[in-house]
Amino acid sequence: MSSFQKFLIVAGAALLLAGLFWPLISKLGFGRLPGDIIIRRENFSFYFPITTMILVSVVMTLIFRFWGK
C-alpha cells in the first residue's frame, strides 16, 4: 500500500471520529475561540473560524512532523 493510500485512510478515519465526537468537541469550545469572526444580521449569518483553523493547522503540522520521522 502506498503512503498516499495510508494517508487517505488515516484522514478518513480522523474525519469519522471527529464527526462522531462532534457533540463532545463542541462543548469544549472549539469553533468559538476568541478571534473567530461571527457576523449576524437580520436574515444573514456569517461565521469564519480563523483562530480555530490556525490552532488545527498547528496541531496537524506537529502531528505530521513527528509522524514523518
The string of DSSP codes covering 26-57 is HHTTTT--TT-EEEE-SS-EEEE-HHHHHHHH
Q: Give the predicted TM-score (pTM) of the model.
A: 0.57
The confidence score (pLDDT) of residue 30 equals: 67
- Side-chain half-sphere CA neighbours of 52 within 13 A: 14
Cell of 11: 484522514
CA gap 36, 53 in Å, rounded: 9
The confidence score (pLDDT) of residue 31 equals: 65
Q: What is the pLDDT averaged over residues 58-67?
A: 86
The confidence score (pLDDT) of residue 45 equals: 92
3: pLDDT strictly greater than 90: no
pLDDT digit string (tens) for 10-61? 889 988 988 888 788 777 766 678 888 999 999 999 988 888 889 889 988 9
48: β partners: 37
